[in-house]
Structure formats: structure tokens, C-alpha cells
Amino acid sequence: MSVIFNLFNSIAFERTASKIVETFFDSIVASVVKALYRSSGESLQSITRLTHLPSKQVLQALVSLIQHNLASFEYTPQRQVHYRLNKANIFYLLRKNKYIHHVREKLGVAAELVVERVLEEGSITASQVIVCTTCKLLMTDLSSAVDRANQNPGDRHIIVRDALRQLIELGYLERCASPSSPAPPCCPLLVKPSSDDKHRFLPDDHLNLQLIAQAVTENVETSSSSSGAILPDASSFPDGKIYWRLNYDAFHLQWRDTLLVTSVEKNVGAEVGLVFRGLLQVAYSTVEDKWQSGVYTTAAHVKHALNSAPHLEHCLQLLGEGESGGCVRRIGVGGGGGEYQIEVAQLVAHITAEFLAKRIKEMFGSKAARVFRLVMRNHIVSADMIASACLLDKKEADQVSNMLFLNQILLVHDLRKASMPSSHTPELLFFKVNFLEVVRLTASQCFTELYNLLRKRELLTEKNRSLMEKKTRVDAIVDNIVKSGATQEQIQDIEEMLTDAERTAVTKWLKQQDQILTVVSGITDDIFLFELFSRYYCHVDDLSVGRSAA
């Protein structure tokens, strides 16, 4: 029996998805998301009927969703337009800060601003993003972070152009599909560019740098630093039909590698972690699809690339053992040296099992984690075996296993009853773990926690709205009088408009908001692990997945 495990298609994510969209876009767009969630495609009329909203607002909401790649549309054979959600992309809204920070660490401030603008608009042309980013650099104090020595300040748009080119070459930005032919109605976002499409990469002949420089000058004169750069009209540039958006997979692949290497380093050692990282890099050079589970590379290739690594053979041997997940196997040992196979899926399952055990330890204690690991390792475990293997009293073992059973982590294995029941036969109780169900349950708990946190933040924001508005007004007045050269007494008088109790309340609310968003950030990291698991185990035939991982 094959079980389909799709993380973002679950009912647990439905409420969370509309709450995430409401946090970023407001309630009208969230209503449209809610109407689209459970269907595979809805027309405009049915969305208007389901949401009970004016048609103008539904149109604007759909445009916002499509622009940010949260929804897509397709034409049916009856030439009607059907809209559907891209559910995973809704969750990625919460990770925008991580994408921006990742690019800042790797490529610098200019690339960070480019990605920030791309995320803000959803899809944008190259000229538009260069103009807006250059304006922001000129209007804010970030230009000093970008300027290099002996660089002409008027060439900042060239620096931004180079950053954009780097992002495209590394795969962080991808081109939006363009319509192949104008005659029949075709969805421009579903058509993939052909392999001989000369616009696949950033074409220099489509970028008019003079026009861009002129637009930058005009934009700086008209816009202010508080409102930000005004988005220029795309049709006024030669590349007005070539749109770019963020490629989430490129980021996720690098984060996956970091997660795998960190896990190996933590379980075995730093040296082994370095060897594993090198092994992955060597394997990627021979493999086309870096996401595939079984990644192969020859032993000769590995020894040639990692010649400088100390104790290479010993590290490779440790990588094949259980502590590191047993993900690296040597195949075909012989005259040719053989091959090394990296089972990424197995390592992901191992990390997931460790995560679940850690979560159970936090919620129910170390004894519960011990019982969980024991039942995971063995297929079916009796109550007596739990007590003896986990070094617990019989009563304590029964209580712990009962608690795990009540929380649906352990399942009771039904035994076939004897044909002749007698009073002398003892009643035995056996426990087992359905790893997939435990992962699904934990993921749905994470989504529920996320919803609760966002809802709490929303309620506290509403409660403290008037207070925050008052604080904003007082700060604005103080800034104005400081600029006009006021004395300290005058500044103090203005600041006293906000009482001490109000100031304490504002500080408390800001601290609460930071705590809530820190936990939200942590939960998104946890859900990334489940995302990886669902990518490799979306169709599970063998329900004993994870048994060897523990």
C-alpha cells in the first residue's frame, strides 16, 4: 500500500496558510486563498461566490497572488481561466528574511538589495530592479558599503548590474516563462523557456545602461528616502517583457547540504564533516540533478579531490557506520577502486528521527525519548521488554508508554486472540511506531503552533495599536525638533507626552513581539526538515521507513 505524504497539502496547513497571507497581504487576499485551498482550480465567478466579496477586490487579490507566484492560472479546453494555489510558496513568505540574509553573507550588500526588491515585487524586470536598487543605494547610507576604491560613484548601476548577473549565474534568480506564441491564449507563467532561448540569461544587448542611468537620476529627484524608490514602467526599457523571480530551490539545496554536514559534524566529528562536505561537492560535479537521493562518485575521483584531507579512509569508514546515519556506502570494491554512494534520503530520515526523539524528550522527558528510540529500532516491542531495555520499573515503563500512546506516538499492536481462551494465558501488550504518522502529526502540530503565534501577534498588535501610534507621533515630533535645533528641555517636554507606564507597556510589547517572531523563525527551520523528508518520502511503499534510522 502506497501512502502519499504531501506536507503542504494537509488540512493542518490550510488555516495556517490563510493566516500567513493575512499577515502579509490583509484579510481580503486571505479569503481568496481560503476559497482556493481545497480545490485544484476555480474560476473567477466561483471565487467571487465563495468569498462573498466585490468582484473588484477579488480581481486585485488574484493579481497580487499571481504577481508573487502564490497562485497560477491555466486555460481550460472551454477557454475558461482556472486559478490554483502554489501552497509551498505561501509558506516561503515566512522565510524571506533568511533568503535575503543568505545572499548578503555570500554575495554582499548590492545582491542583498536586489533580492529584497525582487521579493517585494514578486516578479520584476532586470532594468526595474537595477534602477530601484541604485536609487536606494544613493538615497540611503548603504552606498559606502558598496563603493570600492577608485570607483566612479556614477557607476553604481553597473555594480548592481554585476550583482544581478552573479545572482542569475548562481541560480538564485530564475526567469519567468514567456508566452511562446501570441495567437492562442496561453498561460505565460506555465510555458517554460526553450533550451535555445537566447534570453535565458541576462542579455547585455537588452540592457540599455544609458536609459537606466537616466531613469535613476529622475527617480532620485522625484522620490524621497522615506517612501523609497518608485518602480519605473517596465515598457520604457528594452527588456520590458523579460521578468525574473527568486528560485527557492537553489537556497533550499544549499541549506540541505548545510543541515547534512552539521548533523555529521555533531554526531561524529568536525574532520568527518569536512570530508563529507568534500564528498558532496565531488559528487555534484558528476550528477545533473543535485536533489536526487542516490548520489554516486568513483573512489579514484574522491581520492584525487580529497587528497589533502587527513585520515580520509578512516573518515569514509565512519561515514558508513550507524552513528552518522550510514549514508555513505562503498560499492564494488576491487581493482578499479569501486564507487561511493551517498544515500541522502537515509540521512534525512536519520536526522528526522533524531529531531523527533529530541522533541519527545523536551515534551515528555528523557525516559519517554528512551522508550521511543527503543520502539523505533525494533518493529514490535512488548511492555516487559520496554522495562528491561530502558532500565525502568515496570510501573514507570507502563506509565511512560501509556503517555506516549495517549499522544499517538506509540501504537498498540493487535494480537490474534487464541481460539481457546484460558485464564492462564497472560495478556501481553505490544507497541509499535508508525514513523510516517508521527512525522505527519508533528508537522501538523508545528503548523498549529505557527497559527497560534501569528494569531497572538495579531491580537497583541491590535491591543497596542493606539499606544504604538502615539509613540510613533512622539518620535516624529522629537526628530523634527531635533533637526530644527531644539534644546534638551524642549525635547524632554515632548518626550514626557508618553508616560512611564506607557513606555513600559511599549517596551513589553516590543519584547513580546521579538519573542513571538523568534519562535516563528525556529518553527520554520523545523518545518524545513519535514519538507526535506516529504520530498524524499512522498510516496512510501514500505511503512517501516525510519526504523533503521533510529
Partner 1 sequence: MAGRGRGQTRLKMLESMGVERSEMSQPLDRPKGEAAAKGDLTPSSVYPPLKFQPLPLPPSTTETDYCLTLLKLDMERMRSSKYAVKKEKQQAELERYSDRYRLTVAEDHPQLVVDWTRFPRELNPSYIRKSKKRKISKPDQKSRQKKVKLAGETDEQMEERLKELEKKEKEGGAEVKEELEDEEDEDKDNKEEEDEIEDEDEELDEGTDYAQQYFDNGEQYDDADDDGNDDGGYY
Residues that bind partner 1 (CB under 8 A): 23-29, 44, 54, 56-57, 59-64, 66-68, 73, 81, 94, 96-98, 100-101, 119-120, 122-123, 176, 188-189, 234-235, 240-241, 243, 362-365, 383, 394-395, 398-399, 401-402, 412, 427, 429, 513-515, 517-522
- Measured in degrees and rounded to the nearest 5, phi and psi for residue 243 equal -110, 150
**Minimum separation from the CB atom of position 205 to partner 1 (A):** 21
For the record, the C-alpha cell of 39 comes out as: 480545490
Q: How far is the CB of 315 from partner 1 (least distance, A)?
A: 29
DSSP secondary-structure letter at 326?
S
Nearer to partner 1, 333 or 412 (CB): 412
Nearest approach, Cβ of residue 142 and partner 1 (Å): 14
Q: How far is the CB of 412 from partner 1 (least distance, A)?
A: 7
Closest separation between CB of residue 129 and partner 1, Å? 14
**CB of 495 closer than 8 Å to CB of 478:** yes
**Do 527 and 91 touch, CB atoms closer than 8 A?**
yes
In 3D space, the residue among 241, 251, 248 whose CA is nearest the CA of residue 126 turns out to be 241
Comparison of 209 and 383: residue with beta carbon closer to partner 1: 383
Give CA–CA dist 282/210, Å, rounded.
43
**Is 187 in a helix, a strand, or coil?**
coil
Q: How far apart are CA 48 and CA 76, in angstroms?
A: 19
Closest separation in Å from C-beta 73 to partner 1: 6
State which residue, 94 or 349, has the beta carbon closest to partner 1.
Answer: 94
- Cell matching residue 341: 554512494
∠ at Cα 266 (261, 271), nearest 5°? 65
For residue 501, how far is the Cα from the chain centroid?
39
Query: Distance between CA atoms of 62 and 68, rounded to whole angstroms?
Result: 10
- Residues 6 or more apart in contact with residue 264 via CB below 8 angstroms: 272, 273, 276, 319, 324, 325
In this complex, which beta carbon is closest to partner 1, that of residue 221 or of residue 393?
Answer: 393
By beta-carbon proximity to partner 1, the closer residue of 25 and 172 is 25
Of 307 and 466, which has the nearer Cβ to partner 1?
A: 466
The whole-angstrom separation of Cα 70 and Cα 89 is 6
Q: How many CB atoms lie within 10 A of CB 275?
A: 27
CA pair distance 404, 364, nearest whole angstrom: 8
Determine contact, residues 244/123, Cβ cutoff 8 Å: yes
Q: Which is nearer to partner 1, 123 or 254 (CB)?
A: 123
Nearer to partner 1 by Cβ, of 69 and 324: the residue is: 69
Q: What is the DSSP string of 463-513?
A: HTHHHHHHHHHHHHHHHHHHHTT--HHHHHHHHTTS-HHHHHHHHHHHHHH
Nearest CB to partner 1, comparing residues 468 and 477: 468
Nearer to partner 1, 166 or 401 (CB): 401
State the minimum distance, in angstroms, from the CB of residue 167 to partner 1.
18
Q: 234 is written with which cell numbers?
A: 517596465
CB of 518 to partner 1, least distance (A): 6
Least distance in angstroms from the C-beta of 231 to partner 1: 8
The distance of closest approach from Cβ of residue 401 to partner 1 in the complex, given in angstroms and rounded to an integer, is: 7
DSSP string, 88-123: HHHHHGGGHHHHHHHHHHHH-HHHHHHHHHHHHHSS
Residue nearer to partner 1 on the CB measure, 232 or 325: 232
CB of 149 to partner 1, least distance (A): 26
